[in-house]
Structure 1
Amino acid sequence: MNRPRIFLITPPEFDAADLGGKLKQAFSGGDIACVMIYMPGAGTKDIQAAATTLVPVIQEGGAAAIVYQDTQAAGRSGADGVHVDTSLDDLKLAVESFQPEKIVGTGGTKLKHDAMEWAETGVDYIFFGKLDLEEEENAHPRTLSSAEWWAELFQTPCVALAGNSIDTLGDVAATGADFVALKDAVWQSGADISTVISEANRILEAHPFVDTD
């Protein structure tokens, strides 16, 4: 699929059974490449319990299930990969432990040099945007500029975090990012979840990648 794809991020707090139902609604809205199980501050036991419920739902929907930070929970739950951004050493260990069978992603770097250094570990993607910041209607300007810079120069796929409004999604897609991350725009919109995903896919389809070969 030669256009940006959706990288869906769960709310930071949720009931796993309830979210499982909502994820099924999301998949009925169309293509989703990945779902990150995002539970910052939660312990391994809770993350593993939630992932055990959600991973089969995500995989049945045709997406990759990614666990945020907790490599132990990721491994034990049958997830497709892990997102590690605590330190370069932690990232190197995750790459060593999980690849090539599993996905390893990273992000959260402040400097371009750091992004390049972290990508050199062989990660499967690099994420631009701050997951712990309150989302605004538009994607953060730094996220847009970083994703555009990265997409133009590097082969490692990148993910750009969108704002909390689907109406601004086109700006993120226009950066050339391989994946567009959605969080609050899906869970806090108040609209039907499948409809939000369907509209997001419609917007992304209008931004095909330019063939540079």
Structure 2
Amino acid sequence: MNQTPPPSRCRLVLIAPPSVAVERIGAALSGGDVASLILTQEGSDEASFQAFAEKIVPMAQAAGVAVVIAGDSRVAGRVHADGLHVEGGTEDLADAIERHQDRMMIGAGGAKTRDDALELGEERPDYIFFGRFGYDTKPEPHARNLALGRWWAEMIEIPCIVMAGSEIASVEAVAATGAEFVALSAAVFAEGVDPTAAVAQANALLDRSAPRFED
């Protein structure tokens, strides 16, 4: 359940593969402010991924959460997603922007260096993502992602999302970079975690410590 208007500080982006139960995703969205939800295919076939997305998209959109499909423009179109996440480099990103940006947001991932990020940024995606899906295996965010996020937030107007770690407390380190969004996956959806409580805790930490953005 999202706040209205949204908070003027770093906001949450949740990343969910098909291995996460639909009920757990719904529970996470009920925990507090969530800007968007990225659905990743994680090795599932197209039909299974589409079936998963078809259950999630209307539920999330009804809660005021934008849904982004990672890597599959056909599924994104069929389920009426709000966005498409592209990891394939500048050519794939440029093609996706040309074909789809008139009807959905297009985000870019895969940048490992500043040069990578600048090349992607030249295509004018709606956001750039620093991190890798499924690699939030340590409690803290990856130092490279924090450094890239801090540099990007200081220099470039295109919003950035930075991958946090496997502990909720790691949202504070991401917020300190000035990034507009912090991504959580394992910290919310790992086995034994209460997704509702995790999202509520993440928002409380951001409310307490995240820098405020100017209107």
Structure 2 partner of 1:81 = 83
The aligned length equals 208
The counterpart of 2:164, out of the listed 152, 162, 165, is 162
Quote the offset at 1:27 in angstroms. 1.8
1:61-89 superposed Cα distances (whole Å, 9 cap, x missing partner): 21111111001110111111110111211
| Kept in 2: contact 1:23–1:57 (CA 8 A) | no
RMSD (CA atoms): 1.6
Query: What's the TM-score once normalised by structure 1's chain length?
Result: 0.92
Structure 2 partner of 1:208 = 211
2:14 is aligned with 1:8: yes
The counterpart of 2:132, out of the listed 130, 133, 145, is 130
| Kept in 1: contact 2:89–2:110 (CA 8 A) | no
Structure 2 partner of 1:102 = 104
The counterpart of 2:65, out of the listed 55, 59, 63, is 63
Provide the secondary structure at the position in 1 that maps to 2:161.
strand
Structure 1 partner of 2:178 = 176
1:29-67 superposed Cα distances (whole Å, 9 cap, x missing partner): 111011011113333222211111111111112111111
For structure 1, the residue ranges without an aligned partner over 5 or more in a row are none
The one-letter amino acid of 1:176's match is G
Q: Runs in 1 of length 4+ with deviation above 4 angstroms?
A: none
* CA pair 124-12 structure 1, distance change in 2 beyond 3 A: same
* CA pair 136-92 structure 1, distance change in 2 beyond 3 A: same
Structure 2 partner of 1:42 = 44
* CA distance in structure 1 between the partners assigned to 2:32 and 2:213 by the alignment: 23
Q: Sequence identity, in percent? A: 38
| Kept in 2: contact 1:13–1:39 (CA 8 A) | no
Provide the secondary structure at the position in 1 that maps to 2:129.
strand
For structure 2, the residue ranges without an aligned partner over 5 or more in a row are 1-6
1:77-113 superposed Cα distances (whole Å, 9 cap, x missing partner): 1111110111211111111111132011011112211
Quote the offset at 1:2 in angstroms. 1.1
Structure 2 partner of 1:152 = 154
* CA distance in structure 1 between the partners assigned to 2:213 and 2:92 by the alignment: 35
